[in-house]
């Protein structure tokens, strides 16, 4: 076959409809596919201008180009190939895409003497592109609207994607091209730890990190506890990116902490209540025989002559019985079995009066006593006598803990919402060892040597404070000393009026 015939056959065999045009738009030739597509013979199109051909044979309305925007002219001018995308509709109204590619044909002098126009139906390609773009858009929306914080990074750790939840959690405003590395989102050394776990097949499978408790760092440098999962994204066997999903644990941990605290308090108050019932039972049983011992002992004493040798022994007996009665009294106070009489009291007055009641003022000899009392009156309704006992017990404990030297501070203040009147007894003593903390309010718990402490001071204080609707707690304790906090509900307007303060 001759060279020329070959070329003609190739032109005719092209699967895209193709025309050969002269610079003046006259059709020189058209291949078979073109003629079949428009339903014409070669003599119907050859010698006509492309405008005429398209207007006559194209099923689509209008020309694919305009005078001002003629791809043929552009190709002649630029001497380079051009393409043009055209959207039309088929008979059912479905969108169709057509790509027209214009390529120059040069003569022996390098001049463009003709242009090949090839028409390609790219509807399928464009439809696929649209579907892919739609899926991408949908995926993007899913990622963006996720309540979990999602972050993706390339192999160098450069952040590629951050959804809104991640922006909020990490505090970074993300935009494409931002210079932000995954290492900036973790505390020092943690990012490489995550990567190591991710590559470890024993940690949930290679390339996967199962739900893990971790700390992250936000843009303000704050450490935030999170639960996270992560994965390596592979292309074949090579790593191309990593992604992590994070859940903020702050709220959950705060709720868990509060729940634990409430549970501990519940256990403690249940323990105190059952100990209270036991103490009340014992105290009642002992109270009657004790009253008898004291009564008959006193009667015996009255009947003895002043120089009777039995006097000394009887005095010892009566002293011990009196001590027993005091213990019973304390036990009854702890188990809230004593009657209380309430009046409106000023906490500042109560502190000053209680200190005067401590008989053995020698105890304060080497102690600096600081009375840091609030300038305003701190009124509350309570049993002054009982609460005075509480303050004395706390002060005595503080003095014991300081072994007679140090600084004892009594600080009063108010808290609002709810309105509370507070007293802190602060010492610079030895502190309470942590293993004793849950026992110090138990009756008879003491670390003092026999005869020095009964272990009823704090338990009595606890009973009295509860009876007066207040709270007593160890606010702080350690090598620097101990702070015991006492809070009582402050009086409302009505009581203040009775006290003559307002109205
Ligand atoms: N301020 C404090 N500093 C250090 N330890 C304290 C303090 N207050 C109480 N404790 C510890 O708590 C224990 C119980 O105190 P609590 O007042 O109930 O009994 P006590 O002081 O030992 O005896 P009592 O008060 O009956 O004489 C004490 O033995 C002591 O170990
Ligand atoms: Mg005590």
183-215 per-position pLDDT tens digit: 999 999 999 999 988 888 877 678 899 999 999
Other Cβ atoms within 10 Å of 331 Cβ, number: 29
Distance CA 96, CA 232 (A): 40
Q: Give CA–CA dist 76/70, Å, rounded.
A: 10
Nearest to 276 by CA among 335, 345, 216: 335
For 350, the token pair is 């109560």
Distance of CA 236 to CAs 153, 242, 371, Å?
Answer: 18, 15, 76
| Ligand nearest to the Cα of 461, by number | 1
Inter-residue contact 342 to 469 (CB < 8 Å)? no
pTM here is 0.56
Q: What residue's CA is closest to ligand 1, atom 31?
A: 447
What distance in angstroms lies between residue 267's CA and the mean position of ligand 2's atoms? 23
Confirm or reject: Cβ of 481 under 6 Å from ligand 1. no
Round the average pLDDT of the chain to a whole number and report it: 89
Q: Return the higher-pLDDT residue of 218 and 363.
A: 218
Tokens read off for 243? 């992604």
The torsion angles phi and psi of 500, rounded to 5 degrees, stand at 75, 25
Question: What crossing angle do the helices spanning 457-467 and 384-402 adopt, rounded to 10°?
Answer: 150
The predicted pLDDT at position 502 comes to 43
Mean per-residue pLDDT, 66-94:
84
Q: Please determine, for residue 147, whether its predicted confidence score (pLDDT) is greater than 50.
A: yes
- Is the CB of residue 456 below 6 angstroms from any atom belonging to ligand 1? yes
Q: What is the pLDDT of residue 14?
A: 86
Instruction: Pick the range with the lowest mean pLDDT from 15-29, 84-98, 224-238, 396-410.
Output: 84-98
Distance 456 CA to ligand 2 centre (A): 7
Q: Tell me the per-residue pLDDT of 397-407, one tens digit each, with 9 for 90 and over.
A: 999 999 989 99
Collapsing DSSP to helix, strand or coil, 445 comes out as coil
| Residue count (the chain) | 503
Distance CA 235, CA 471 (A): 64
Ligand 1 centroid – CA 446 distance (Å): 6
Q: Using the structure block, give the residue that is written with the tokens 């109205």.
A: 503
Q: For a substitution probing ligand 1, which of 457, 481, 485, 486 has the most ligand atoms within 8 Å of its CB?
A: 457
pLDDT of residue 496: 53
Banded pLDDT at 503 (limits 50, 70, 90): very low
Percent of the chain predicted with pLDDT > 90: 59
The average pLDDT across 135-157 equals 92
How far apart are the CA of 381 and the centre of ligand 2, in A?
25
- Could you tell me which residues are beta bridge partners of residue 425? 410, 484
- Which pLDDT band, with edges at 50, 70 and 90, does 8 fall under? confident
């Amino acid at each position: 076959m001759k060279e020329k015939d070959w070329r003609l056959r190739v032109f005719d065999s092209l699967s895209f409809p193709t025309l050969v045009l002269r610079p003046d738009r006259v059709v020189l030739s058209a291949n078979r596919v073109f003629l079949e597509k428009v339903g014409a013979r070669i003599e119907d199109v050859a010698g006509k201008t492309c405008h005429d051909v398209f207007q006559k044979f194209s099923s689509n309305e209008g020309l694919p180009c305009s005078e001002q925007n003629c791809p043929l002219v552009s190709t002649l001018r630029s001497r380079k190939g051009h393409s043009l995308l055209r959207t039309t509709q088929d008979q059912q109204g479905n969108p169709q895409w057509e790509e027209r590619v214009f390529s120059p044909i040069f003569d022996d002098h390098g001049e463009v003497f003709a242009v090949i126009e090839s028409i390609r139906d790219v509807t399928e390609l464009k439809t696929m592109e649209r579907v892919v773009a739609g899926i991408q858009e949908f995926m993007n929306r899913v990622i963006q609207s996720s309540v979990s914080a999602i972050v993706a990074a390339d192999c160098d750790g450069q952040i590629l994607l951050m959804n809104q939840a991640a922006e909020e959690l990490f505090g970074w405003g993300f935009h494409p091209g931002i210079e932000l590395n995954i290492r900036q989102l973790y505390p020092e050394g943690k990012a490489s730890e995550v990567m190591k776990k991710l590559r470890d097949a024993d940690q949930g499978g290679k390339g996967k990190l199962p739900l893990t408790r971790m700390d992250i760092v936000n843009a303000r440098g704050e450490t935030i506890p999170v639960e996270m999962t992560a994965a390596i994204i592979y292309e074949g066997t090579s790593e191309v990116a990593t992604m992590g999903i994070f859940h903020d644990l702050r709220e959950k941990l705060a709720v868990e902490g509060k729940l634990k605290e409430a549970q501990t308090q519940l256990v403690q108050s249940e323990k105190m209540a059952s100990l209270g019932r036991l103490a009340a039972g014992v105290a009642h049983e002992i109270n009657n025989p004790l009253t008898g011992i004291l009564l008959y002992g006193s009667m015996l004493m009255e009947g003895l002559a002043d120089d009777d040798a039995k006097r000394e022994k009887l005095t010892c007996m009566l002293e011990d019985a009196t001590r027993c009665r005091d213990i019973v009294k304390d036990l009854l106070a702890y188990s809230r079995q004593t009657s209380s009489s309430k009046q409106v009291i000023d906490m500042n007055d109560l502190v000053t009066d209680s200190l005067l009641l401590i008989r053995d003022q020698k105890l304060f000899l080497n102690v600096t006593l600081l009375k840091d009392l609030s300038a305003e009156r701190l009124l509350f309704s309570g049993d002054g006598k009982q609460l005075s006992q509480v303050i004395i017990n706390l002060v005595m404990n503080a003095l014991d803990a300081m072994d007679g030297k140090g600084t004892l501070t009594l600080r009063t203040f108010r808290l609002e919402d709810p309105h509370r009147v507070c007293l802190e007894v602060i010492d610079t003593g030895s502190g309470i060892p942590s293993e004793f903390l849950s026992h110090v309010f138990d009756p008879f718990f003491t670390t003092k040597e026999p005869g020095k402490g009964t272990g009823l001071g704090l338990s009595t204080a606890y009973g009295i404070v509860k009876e007066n609707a207040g709270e007593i707690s160890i606010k702080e304790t350690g090598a620097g000393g101990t702070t015991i906090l006492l809070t009582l509900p402050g009086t409302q307007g009505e009581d203040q009026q009775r006290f003559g303060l307002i109205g």
